[in-house]
Structure 1
Amino acid sequence: MQKEDCFYLGKIVSKFSFKGELLVKLDTDDPESFLKMESVFVDLNKNLIPFFIEKSSLQKSNLLRVKFEDISTEKEADLLLKKEVYLPLTMLPELKEDQFYFHEVIGFKVIDKTFGEVGILKGVNDSTPQALFEIEREGKEILVPLNDDFIWKIDKPNKELYLNVPEGLIEMYLD
C-alpha cells in the first residue's frame, strides 16, 4: 500500500499496558466510526506495514486504545511509539454533497465571487490554528482561511471551489 492511496488516521502516542496495548490519537471528528477496524497501516521507516487489530476501544474523546495481533510486550510496543497510522482512502466515510476532504480539492480551480478566478488550490495547511487554503496564482501563493463562511459552493464534477472572501484579502498577496 502506498501513502498516496491512504489517509492519515492518527499517531501512536503512548503505551497503555504492559501487554503491548497502545493509544492512537485519532485525527478525526468522528472517532466512533473507526472502532470496528480490522487493520491499519503503520508507517515504519517510510513503509506502510499492515497491523491487524485484536481489539480496540475509545479512551476519552479521540484516543483509540488498540491491541495489535503479535504485539504482546512493552518492548514490542516501544517500536511503534510515535509512528503514524493510515487507512486506505476507500475507508473514508461518505460525505454530504457540500462537504469535502482536504485531499479531494487539491488541484481545484478557485474562483472568488468578487475577484473572479484566483488560481489553483495547491494544498491545505492544517498545521496552524486556522487551516489555510494554499492557492497558486502566477507563481505567487495566496493564503485564504478555511472558513465555512468563505466557502460559497463546491463543484466537485468540474473541480471548482467557489469562495466569497473579504474584500482585499486576495489583492493583499498580489501587490
Structure 2
Amino acid sequence: MTVEDCYQLGYIVKPHGLKGEVQVLLDVDFPEEYRTLESVFVQQGQQLVPFFISAISLNADKAIMSFEDTDTLEMAQALKGAALYLPLSTLPEREEGDFYFHELVGLDLIDANNNDSLVGVVENVFEAGPQTLLSVKHTTEKEILIPLVDELIKVIDKENNQLHMFIPAGLVDVFLED
C-alpha cells in the first residue's frame, strides 16, 4: 500500500496514559463514521505500516486509540506525529454533487467567466488557514492559486476530466505578472 492509494485520516498527537495508547486528531468531515475502525496504516518514514486497533474512543474530532502490540509509553511516544492513512477504497460514498479533494487533482481547470478557456491543471488541494486553495499549473507552467469555494464551482465534469469554475476577473493575471 502506498500513500497515493490512501487518504490521510489524521495523525497521532501524543501518547495517552502509560499503556501505549495514543491521542489521534481525525482530519475528516464525519469522525463518528470511524468509530468501528479495525486497522489503520501508520506512516513510518516513507512506508505505511499496518497497525491493528484493539480499542478506540471518540470525542468530537479526537480519538484515543490502542494498537495491538503497542503497550508501553515508550512505544506510543515513538509514534507521536505519525500520519494515519486508510485506503481510498474505504472512503464513504458522497452524495450527488459532493466531492473529495483528491478527486480534483489532475482535472483541467476551465474558467466559466472567460469563454470556458483552459486555465491549467489542478496539481494539489490544500488548506491555508481557513481557506482551501487549488494549486493549478497554468498553461504557461506557472503555479496559480484559486480559492476553492462552492459558490465559484459551476460543474465538476469527471467524465471529461474538467472542473468548471467562475474565476474572479483578474485573479489569474495576478499570478502571471513578473
The residue that corresponds to 2:13 in the other structure is: 13
Note the C-alpha offset of 1:174: 2.8
Map 1:16-165 onto structure 2 (within 5 A): 16-59=16-59, 61-115=60-114, 116-137=117-138, 138-165=140-167
Note the C-alpha offset of 1:169: 1.5
Alpha-carbon RMSD: 1.3
Q: How many residues align?
A: 174
The residue that corresponds to 2:168 in the other structure is: 166
Note the C-alpha offset of 1:172: 2.5
Q: Distance in 2 between matches of 1:81 and 1:140?
A: 36
Structure 1 SS opposite 2:131 = coil
Q: Distance in 2 between matches of 1:158 and 1:73?
A: 52
Note the C-alpha offset of 1:127: 4.0
CA displacement 1:2-33 (0-9 Å, x = unmatched) = 11111111110012221111111011111001
Structure 2 SS opposite 1:154 = strand
Q: Distance in 2 between matches of 1:80 and 1:107?
A: 32
CA displacement 1:63-98 (0-9 Å, x = unmatched) = 111111111111221111111111111111111231
Q: Distance in 1 between matches of 2:12 and 2:3?
A: 17
Q: Distance in 1 between matches of 2:18 and 2:68?
A: 15
- What percent of counterpart residues are identical? 43
Q: Distance in 1 between matches of 2:175 and 2:45?
A: 39
Note the C-alpha offset of 1:43: 0.8
Note the C-alpha offset of 1:48: 0.7
Structure 1 SS opposite 2:160 = coil
Q: Distance in 2 between matches of 1:159 and 1:121?
A: 11
CA displacement 1:29-48 (0-9 Å, x = unmatched) = 11001111110010112211
Give the AA of the match of 2:13: V
Please report the TM-score for the alignment, with normalisation by the length of structure 1: 0.93
Structure 2 SS opposite 1:122 = strand
Point out where structure 2 has 5 or more consecutive residues left out of the alignment. Answer: none
Please report the TM-score for the alignment, with normalisation by the length of structure 2: 0.92
